Chains A and B, each alone.
Chain A
Amino acid sequence: MKARVFVSLKRSVLDPQGKTIHHSLQNLGYGSVEDVRQGKFFEITLDPKISSEQARVEIEKMAKSVLTNPVIEEFRYELEAGEARA
């Protein structure tokens, strides 16, 4: 089973990297770009034997305690059942 965790800075937090990428895209002629927020993406492969409920508990716990700093970041995730479970 795979989990995809997306981490981004909270809306209330300035994102200097996103801002710089935004300016670069505009300078490259992508005039339609109104805003850029950049973040992190984790693809986590889990033991295929665990249930999706268990997977959710585990992923939420690791996202809250390790993968993000809740002072500045937020996350969302999706679960994807692995290819043909053994």
Chain B
Amino acid sequence: MKFGVLIFPGSNCEHDAYHMVSKVLHLPVEFIWHQSKDLKGCDAIVVPGGFSYGDYLRTGAIAQFSPVMEAVRKFAANGGLVIGICNGFQILLESGLLPGAMLRNKGLKYVCRHVHVRVESAETPFTGSARAASVLQIPIGHMEGNYFVDDVTLRQLEENRQVVFRYCTPNGQITDEANPNGSLANIAGICNAERNVLGMMPHPERASEAVLGCDDGLVVFQSMVHSLEPLAAHR
């Protein structure tokens, strides 16, 4: 089982993700450059955080046109696991792999701190090892994390249980005060209808070792590994 971590010019969280897979999960992992037309046989793809192509036009807007994203689209269409973190989430939105868009944070400030998120659905390959409704402490660091989508699509997301994480208080209440960026319905992470593509603003790779102060994020990657294990066993 091999993880692939994409790199765009301006990515800056790719080494965190690489470290987490190789040194914490002890699994093979490879970097994949944005010009690559294939995913090197990887079984799961991490679209990391950062400022892809400088994010000058809109966050993630240019990255959607890179050759590697064409490969990611095909991979996702065939059921491959794709997790987009922070800027990676923004890229997945711009690519149309996930519905919605990001607006500037409601407070207009870059927010960098630990937040709490509640696991809204444990029925995804990214949360299968977590308890439903459990609260994870994971840091955020972004300027555009104010998730927006039209009413009809929001209703679909809720009905299909595609909202995977919501910002909450430390004891799991979904309140305005616990919402760091004005995100619609406190949404911190969503998956696609097929549940193999996840986007989340919090950085689980930055919270995967106790030595870093918190390892609540590790469950996201452990869940991915568990969901891939039966596949790997058949090879």
Are A and B part of the same complex?
A: yes
Chain B interface bracket (under 10, 10 to 19, 20 to 34, 35 or more): 20 to 34
**Closest Cβ of chain B: how far from A53's Cβ, in Å?**
26
6 contacts between A and B (CB under 8 A): A9-B103, A12-B150, A69-B94, A71-B93, A71-B99, A72-B101
* Residues on the B chain within 8 Å of A66, using CB: 57, 61, 65
A14 at the interface (CB under 8 A from B): yes
B103 and A72 contacting across the interface, CB-CB below 8 Å: yes
Q: Which of B82-101 contact A (CB under 8 A)?
A: 93-94, 99-101
A52 at the interface (CB under 8 A from B): no
**B interface residues (Cβ-Cβ under 8 A, vs A):** 57-58, 61, 65, 93-94, 99-101, 103-108, 146, 148-150, 182
B100 and A17 contacting across the interface, CB-CB below 8 Å: no
A16 at the interface (CB under 8 A from B): yes
B148 and A13 contacting across the interface, CB-CB below 8 Å: yes
A20 at the interface (CB under 8 A from B): yes
**Closest Cβ of chain A: how far from B145's Cβ, in Å?**
12
Known contacts: A14-B103, A66-B57. The answer to whether A72 contacts B108 by CB under 8 A is: no
